[in-house]
Each structure stands twice: as structure tokens, then as C-alpha cells.
Amino acid sequence: MSKEIPYKIYLSESEIPTAWYNVRAHMKNKPAPLLNPGTLKPMTADELSAVFCDELVKQELDDTTPYIEIPEEIRNFYKMYRPAPLVRAYCLEEKLKTPAKIYYKFEGNNTSGSHKLNSAIAQAYYAKKQGLKGVTTETGAGQWGTALSMACAYFGLDCKVYMVKVSYEQKPFRREVMRTYGASVTPSPSETTEIGREILSKFPGTNGSLGCAISEAVEVATHTPGYRYVLGSVLNQVLLHQSVIGLETKAALDKYGVKADMIIGCAGGGSNLGGLIAPFLGEKLRGEADYRIIAVEPASCPSFTRGTYAYDFCDTGMVCPLAKMYTLGSSFMPAPNHAGGLRYHGMSSTLSQAYDDGLIEARSVKQTDVFEAAQMFARIEGILPAPESSHAIRVAIDEALKCKETGEEKTIVFGLTGTGYFDMVAYQKFNDGLMEDYIPTDDEIKASLSKLPKV
Amino acid sequence: MSKEIPYKIYLSESEIPTAWYNVRAHMKNKPAPLLNPGTLKPMTADELSAVFCDELVKQELDDTTPYIEIPEEIRNFYKMYRPAPLVRAYCLEEKLKTPAKIYYKFEGNNTSGSHKLNSAIAQAYYAKKQGLKGVTTETGAGQWGTALSMACAYFGLDCKVYMVKVSYEQKPFRREVMRTYGASVTPSPSETTEIGREILSKFPGTNGSLGCAISEAVEVATHTPGYRYVLGSVLNQVLLHQSVIGLETKAALDKYGVKADMIIGCAGGGSNLGGLIAPFLGEKLRGEADYRIIAVEPASCPSFTRGTYAYDFCDTGMVCPLAKMYTLGSSFMPAPNHAGGLRYHGMSSTLSQAYDDGLIEARSVKQTDVFEAAQMFARIEGILPAPESSHAIRVAIDEALKCKETGEEKTIVFGLTGTGYFDMVAYQKFNDGLMEDYIPTDDEIKASLSKLPKV
């Protein structure tokens, strides 16, 4: 083992980034704008302000400013759990007998259990600053809802969470964490909204989906004075906030003179991957360096690898703006796999554009293969990973094993977005040998894609 | 806010202690030796070797060597999750409007969720080195069992865990974490041991207790070739390993020229408190500095504040050696409170002696007061604490509020031993306003104390 690079590279608090990096500023082909579903014209700031906080609307639409300052209040909150460590996976390398050098950026060392807190605190801050009373949101795996509950507790905001029903049932304790932080949690679809009632009558017994929970949360936000809607992924603003992950990762690597060969992240809506790769993609766009960037998605919800690049609704209820993205169609209902955070039908517009431009690769992996990697990682590296994060672990291990064959000493960096403490129902299934793989048929995907809006 | 001291003080990996500190070496009144329950004579190394690994027996009996080297293999494992941060609770201070300065040593940033891993990895290492096949143990809250499972997975040892029944039921997912790490988990009392069957027939429907689970684990270890028993608290060897907490804490404080006025830790068997205070108690013993040291225990299991200092059995089945300690009597069955790790009838001999010598204070706190502090801490400091750890939080807050009254700028250091992610049943009860306080009557305590062995 090389003794020069520590197991964990911790930056000091003074090295926490003071500005987020807005990779759109350096993209030649900008991500396509959100469209008003009625007029099919780009959404204006005014239109977006009915749904989102004003300052966040600005960030959403800004594709020219490369660096946006992080307000001091947010940086102070970051100091409670950041900088996050960049870990050299010495034990994993040794176990795999690979010449590859493996690093992971670990975002799980906070109570929300994931990177989601990075954007939650920013969005709560701007809501508070605007004098709002509260925010609404949806949550899939529960990580985003927990993060937002924590952020709202910190700033004294009310927090209403719509939680995808299958996660609500699989993760009863997630709900209690959110309640401990003072949030209200409703399983979605619910009877509390018009769209929820509609979906329930059309699909009784549905497991719910992120797209459907979004519709409910947006409906409540736009119908309750003093409330706005906040979202934990997909949006440009979220990727902007999450760039703190990549900036810290790059600073830590630079500190030790390490150049990454490939960067791997799981991708559901794209918040973690977009944040992790931001500064690396920036270098690539500016021609300063080259990296392989690999997005990993579940075979059960393969928006990059089997979807289409087109305008689509962001939500099942079709009340949100249209976004151009790789999508399986907003009516796609993924099977109830155990990576709840990766069950979204679409993908961030920014990442979709980068993927379409060939700047990013994508790979889909099966659930059982993912849990095999998760268990191995837990035993060797001592961290029980979230199912979502384990998609990246799977491909990192696969790539390290390829290096073993070829003898190449590649440097692999992956995002370990969170911990699996609230995913023990999934681990139990795996431990008991009862886990199954779900892969949608071509016909299923074709069916939901046939319902794409005509733009 | 002072900007000089960061929110989190991280030592570098090279500052991880290279030797454990054995505070017994500096105690004038040594902790009383373990006695053979048959002969009532001090247990010899030979006798102890039937139960414990040889090297650990040496450490158990050594009360003269002040520093014992930490083997490199263990230090390498420590690097996966240590040094643990010493956190300045700026947000809590601000919220309480106290002139006190509050620090906490956070041991929850690892998958076992607590400080227990510090001793688990040491005990697993010595078992492996001795060529054993596996180890047995008991677990209360599940933190020790999880830690040991992780340590055993790392060294490829078999791991059999007896889990106190009430915790097994309250924390179903703890079991799955242990299984994910390859351990077998049995609720105690169980039908798998002689002593388990005996207890079940005497007390059908019992919630179990640590003392009873210990009996079962010891029985299996001593009846299975190639196995030894390991214990997560109470023993001298465990406090020795846990001194890494205190050594890091002291090093971090020294680095910033901070002198603690009081050190607060929760106390069940004493592993966390003993480890946290070791170097501070050492200074106190050597007359180099003075500190207030406060042990906090649940009002439902108050061994220091309402127990007796006497020889007692360490386990309910009375198969283990006798230890001189503050005890409620080995037949004491604590009410099913939610701090499973603090439900032990006795207390470490080392801490018992220090308490008897007036070097340590003790305080008992009610469960509902503890959860009120836990919720407050979670919302303000962003970490969801374990119920056990929250006992220390309660008293730290109380002391900080006293400083507010008196205007004293005291420096308070407390041990935040772990996270509460697997304690959501307890939090749910608290969130729903259904939590109750259990306080044993004088008669109950008198009854179990009347059964102390005659020594």
C-alpha cells in the first residue's frame, strides 16, 4: 500500500468551495429550456416563480455564469458535515488484486444519509430568505425528504413531504426520521390532492412513482399561500448546488497530484452524478483534460440506455413544465426495485445533453449484481452503502477487474452517495436469496414512449 | 462565533494513537480483580483463557503498563473510520444562548453506528491471531453486535451473536446489518443453550437482559472448539481499547489549546465513558490537571446512583467470574427502555473504583427528558443521536444552561457515542407522545441486591 495518500483525504473547512460551479456556462450545446405545457414556449421566470423560489428560478435559467457564490449561511451549515472525505479504497483494491487505484467520494456522513442535503439546505435557505412559510416536495427512497426535513428544521420552515408509496412501506423508519425533524409525510398517491385522487382511481393499488409524487407536491405548493415546491434532483439548480461534491473531489485529488481516468456515478434524476462530474466535465468541455464519465442506472429503469431524447413531462400528472431529456415516458411505471432514488422516468436536461453530445457514457446494471457488489463493499470497506450508490460500486468494481486483466493502473473515482441504514428490507431480501431482477420489455417502454407529448 | 476553532477538528491519520492508554496503571486503588465464582479466588490467566483470547487475558490482568501498543493491522482498520471528529457545537451554543463552549467527540461515523468498533476490531484481531475459528457475544442495542460482525467479516472469523430479545424485536433491521456482515443472530434468551432454556422456563415471556445474553454466549463459546467469547463493555480490556476515543479527544483539544472543565459520557457498562475519560482521569490521578467527570445513566437502570459497590455476577446465569462493581444485582431486570445499551445491571470495575474514590460524579436521567434533548440536538446539530448517547446530551445541555444562569464560560466535552438510525421505534413513540418513564422502586432494587453473592 502506498503510504503517501491517506485512507481518507479531508480538506479543511476553509477549503469548502465558496462558489458553486455552473457547468452549463461552458457547454456549447446548452440544455434545452423548460417549456410551458400549454403554450410550448420556454418557461419565463415569472411563470416559474409560481412554483419555485425567486432566487432558485434565477439559478435555474442561468446558463452563462460559471460560478455562483454560496451564501455564508449555507456555508456555515455545510461546515456541520462537510468537507466530505475522498476515500482511497485500499482494502477493496487489495481484495480485488487490481492495479487500479480506486477512490470514492463519501457523501453519507450526515443524518440524511446522502448527498441530498447539499441542495436541500440551499433551497430551504432561499425559501426562508423570500419570507415563505414552508415548502412541499416528493421523495422516493426518502433521502431527499430527510435532507429537506433537516434543512427546514434548521431554518424553521414548514415541510410537507409526499413519499412514493412503495418506499413509504419499505422504509417505515424513514418517515420517523422526517417526523423527528418536524416534517409531515404523506404516502403518494394520496387522497389529499386532486391529481392523487385521479391516479388512485385510474390505478388502484399502484406502488406510486416519483413522477406522481411530484405532481401532488406541486399541486399543494401552488394552491397554498406562502408555499413553494422544491425538488431534489433533475433540475439545473440542483445540479448546481451538488457541484460542491465535484469541486471538493477535484480539490482533494489535485492536492495529492492525482489525475482521475474515469468518474463513475449512479444516475436517477442526475443530481449526484451531475454534481460529482461538474468540474471534470467543465475541463473536458474547455479542452483542458479528458475523462471517461460513466452514468450507471438500474436495468429496471434505464432512461439513458433505453430511453429517447425528447421533450416530456417531468411528472405523471402532467402539471409540470416539459423538459427535454432522456426519458422512458412520464407514464412509465418502474417495477418496485430497491433503489427508490433511481426510479425516475427521466434524466436531468444538463446530463441528457452531455450524454447526447457523447461526453458521458451510460451503463445499466441488474439489481442482484448491485447488491452483490454492495455486500462485498460493506464487508471490505466497512460502509454499508445505499442501494442507489451501489450501482456505482458495481461498475467501479467491474472496471477495476478489467484493469486486473489488462494490467492497467487506472485511477477510478466513484460517488458513494449514501448509506443503506434504511434499506434493510432490501438487504434482508438479498440475504435471504429472495431478490429478483426486473427488466422492462421493449413493448412496455414502447408503450410509455408512445405517449410522449407532441412538441 | 469564534472563527479560530473549526466546526469539526479532524486529526490527521498520522495522529491516530499508536498505543492505548491503560489508566489502571496510574490508579492508586486498583480495580478489584475478577473472582472465580467457585473458589472466590482471583481468576488466573489460565482460567480466563477458557473464555477469552490469550492476548486479551493479558490485557485484562495488566494494571501496571500505562501504554500498550496498537498493532498495525488494527491501526490500518482504524484508518477506515478514524480519527473521529471532535465537533464544536456552535449551533447548539447559539440556540441555548449559553456562554459555555460545547464540544462533542462523534463516534457514529461508521456503519456500526457507534464507538463499539474500536474494541471489536481489536478483539477480532487477537482471536484471528490465535488461530480461532470464531467468536460469540451478546448485544443489547445491537451496536456491539454490528461492530463485531464488521470486525469478523474483515478478518474472516465466524460470529455468533446473542441479541437481547427486546432489542431484537425493537430493532429488526439491526439483525439484517449483522447478517449482511455474515453473522448469525439469535434472540436471547433462546432454546439454543442450557442457561437460555432455564431462564425461559423460569421467566416465560421475559424481555431478556444483557446479563442473560452474556450467559448464553459464554456457554456456547466454552462448549464449541475453536471459539472464544468477546464482550463489548465492562471489561478492563474494552476500556483499554476505547481509550483511543479519549486520546484523540485530548490531542484535538490540545491542538487548539483548549482545556476542558467537564467531561460527560453516558454509562451502561462503561466502555464509552471509560474510553473517553481515560487520559483525563490519568491527568487527574497524576495530579496534573483537574476535571469534573460526569457519568450519565438511565433512571430505569441506575447502577451508580442507586446500586451498591460489591462483588456480583456479570451475568444472569452466574456462569461468569464475579466482578466488584456498582451493581443493581445480576437478577435485576430493567424495564424495556429505549437505550438498550445502557440496560446492564453493573458497571465497569475500573469506573466503579474511580467513582468510589470520588473521581467521577454520576447522574441519572429520565427517558422522556433524554429524547427531548435528542430531538433538540438532531434539529440543531444535524445528527440524529442514539438514545444511549442522548443521555450525555441531556446533561451537557443542562450544564450549559447552568452556565447561562451563572455566566460562566465553561468548556463542556461530551461523548456522542453513536447514531440513532436503528432506534426509530423509540423515536416514533416519542414523536407520538407515547413514551413512558420507568423508574424502579426501592423494593425492586432491594430485592435484586438481596441476591448478591456472599463474598
Residue A21 pLDDT = 98
Query: Which pLDDT belongs to residue B98?
Result: 98
* Below-50 pLDDT ranges, chain B: 1-3
Residue numbers of the domain that contains B153: 21-69+116-229
Residue B271 lies in a domain: yes
Question: Which residues in A17-131 belong to E strands, given as ranges?
Answer: 19-21, 67-69, 86-88, 101-106
pLDDT beyond 60 at A1: no
pLDDT reported for residue B263: 98
Distances (CA, A) of B335 to A47, B207, B298, B384: 58, 9, 11, 24
Residues B338 and B320 in one domain: yes
- Which of A163, A198, A229 terminates a domain? The answer is A229
- Over residues A387-410, the pLDDT tens digits come to 999 999 999 999 999 999 999 999
CA atoms of A339 and A427, how far apart (whole Å):
11
Torsions phi, psi of A119, nearest 5?
-90, -30
Does residue B360 lie in a domain region?
A: yes
Q: Same domain, yes or no, for B274 and B410?
A: yes
pLDDT-wise least confident of A181-185, A311-315, B333-337: B333-337
Side chain identity, residue B268: G
Q: Which residues of B touch A118 (CB under 8 A)?
A: none
Residues B137 and B281 in one domain: no
Domain count, chain B: 2
Q: Which residue is associated with the grid cell 480461532?
A: B132
Is residue B211 included in any domain, yes or no? yes
A1, closest residue in chain B (CA to CA): B76
Reported ipTM: the value is: 0.92
**Domain final position from B172, B195, B229:** B229
Long-range contacts of B352-357 (CB under 8 A, 24+ apart): B352/B31, B352/B309, B352/B324, B352/B325, B352/B326, B353/B27, B353/B29, B353/B30, B353/B31, B353/B32, B353/B324, B354/B27, B354/B281, B355/B295, B355/B304, B355/B326, B356/B29, B356/B309, B356/B326, B357/B28, B357/B29
Cis geometry, peptide bond prior to residue B17 (ω within 30 degrees of 0): no
For residue B224, the model assigns a pLDDT of: 97
Contact of A355 with A349, CB cutoff 8 Å: no
Query: Is A382–B424 a contact, with Cβ atoms under 8 angstroms apart?
Result: no
**Got the DSSP string for A165-231?**
HHHHHH-HHHHHHHHHTT-EEEEES-TTSHHHHHHHHHSTT----HHHHHHHHHHHHHHSTTEEE--
- Residue A320's SS3 state is coil
3-state helix, strand, coil in chain A (%, to 5): 45, 15, 40
Q: Would residue B171 count as lying in a domain?
A: yes
Same domain, B218 and B348: no
Asked if B192 and B368 count as a contact pair (C-beta separation under 8 A), the reply is no
Residues in contact with B266: Cβ distance below 8 Å, sequence separation at least 6, in sequence order: B272, B273, B295, B296, B297, B339, B342, B388, B389, B390, B391, B392, B415, B417
DSSP A396: H
On whether residue A26 sits in a domain, the answer given is yes
For B424, the closest of A177, A381, A427 (CB atoms) is A177
pLDDT score for B312? 96
Burial class (CB in 10 A: 0-12, 13-18, 19+), A442: exposed
Residues of B in contact with A81 (CB under 8 A): 382
Write the pLDDT tens digit of every residue in A345-391: 999 999 999 999 999 999 999 999 999 999 999 999 999 999 999 99
Same domain, B142 and B202: yes
B131 shares its domain with B222: yes
* A455 within a domain of the structure (yes/no): no
Could you tell me whether strands B158-164 and B134-139 are parallel, antiparallel, or unpaired per DSSP bridges?
parallel
Please check whether residue A330 lies inside any domain of the structure: yes
Cβ contact A384–B431 (<8 Å): no
* H or E element, residue A277: helix A271-285
- Secondary structure class of A104 (helix, strand, coil): strand
- Classified as helix, coil or strand, A336 is coil
Q: Hey, are the CB atoms on A378 and B111 less than 8 Å from each other?
A: yes
What are φ and ψ of residue A31, in 5° steps?
Answer: -60, 145
Q: Tell me how far CA of residue B126 lies from CA of A191, B55, B59, B244, in angstroms.
A: 58, 6, 11, 17
Alpha-carbon span B130 to B55, nearest angstrom: 8
Vertex A425: Cα angle to A422 and A426 (nearest 5): 95
Question: What Cα–Cα distance (Å) separates residue A196 from each residue in A187, A233, A293?
Answer: 10, 21, 38
pLDDT digits 0-9 by tens, A208-217 = 888 789 899 9
Instruction: Express as a percent the part of chain B with pLDDT over 70.
Output: 99
Q: Chain B interface residues facing chain A, Cβ-Cβ under 8 Å?
A: 6-8, 10, 12-13, 77, 79-81, 91, 109-111, 113, 150, 153-154, 172-173, 176-177, 179-182, 375, 378-384, 419, 421-422, 424-425, 427-428, 430-431
Which of chain A's residues have a Cβ under 8 Å away from the Cβ of B113? Answer: 421
Does B314 share its domain with B345?
yes
d(C-alpha B128, C-alpha B131), whole Å? 5
CB within 8 Å: A428 and B179: yes
| In the predicted structure, residue A338 carries a pLDDT above the cut 90 | no
The number of beta carbons lying within 10 Å of the beta carbon of residue A58 is 17
Question: What's the mean pLDDT in A71-92?
Answer: 96
Whether B120 and B109 map to the same domain: the answer is no
Give B385-436 as a DSSP string.
Answer: B-HHHHHHHHHHHHHHHHHHHHT---EEEEEE-BB-TT-HHHHHHHHTT---
**3-class DSSP state for residue B332?**
coil
DSSP A404: H
CA-to-CA separations, B189 to B161, B170, B216, B451, in angstroms, rounded: 12, 15, 8, 21
The answer to whether the CB of A362 falls within 8 A of the CB of A301 is no
Domain end (from A229, A255, A289): A229
How high is the pLDDT of residue B133? 98
Answer yes or no: is pLDDT of A3 > 80.
Answer: no
Contact A315, A214 (CB under 8 A): yes
CATH for B149: 3.40.50.1100
- B80 chain-A contacts, CB cut-off 8 A: 7-8, 91, 381-382
SS (H, E, C) A424-446: HHHHHHHHCCCCCCCCCCHHHHH
pLDDT of residue A318: 82
In this structure, the answer to whether residues A247 and A307 fall within a common structural domain is yes
Q: Per DSSP, which regions of A307-428 are E strands?
A: 308-313, 322-327, 361-365, 411-416
Provide the grid cell at B441: 422502586
A362 and A218 in a common domain: no
pLDDT of the residue at B343: 85
pLDDT over threshold 60, residue A88: yes
Cα separation, A288 vs A290, in Å, equals 7
Q: Find chain A residues with C-beta within 8 A of B425's C-beta.
A: 173
Specify whether A203 is located in the same domain as A243.
no
A141 within 8 A of A340, measured Cβ to Cβ: yes
Q: Would you put residue A8 in left (φ > 0), alpha (ψ -120 to 50) or beta?
A: beta
DSSP sequence for B143-178: HHHHHHHHHHHHHT-EEEEEEEHHHHHH-HHHHHHH
Q: B291-328 as b/e, with b when 16 or more CB fall inside 10 Å?
A: bebbbbbbbbbbbbebbebbbbbbbbbbbbbbbbbbbb
- The 10s digit of each residue's pLDDT in A149-180 is 999 999 999 999 999 998 888 788 999 999 99
Q: Residue A98: pLDDT band by 50, 70, 90 thresholds?
A: very high
Q: CB-CB: which of B79, B154, B179 is closest to A431?
A: B179
Same domain, B187 and B264: no
| Strand-strand pairing, A101-106 and A86-88 | antiparallel
DSSP letter for each residue of B279-327? HHHHHHHTTS---EEEEEEETTS-HHHH-EEEEEESSTTS-SPEEEEEE
Nearest to A382 among B111, B380, B431 (CB): B111
Q: Between A80, A91, A375, which is nearest B7 by CB?
A: A80
pLDDT of residue A140: 82
Exposure letters B48-57 (e unless 16+ CB within 10 A, then b): bbebbbebbb
Residues B162 and B183 sit within 8 Å (Cβ to Cβ): no
> Could you tell me if residue A77 is inside a domain?
no
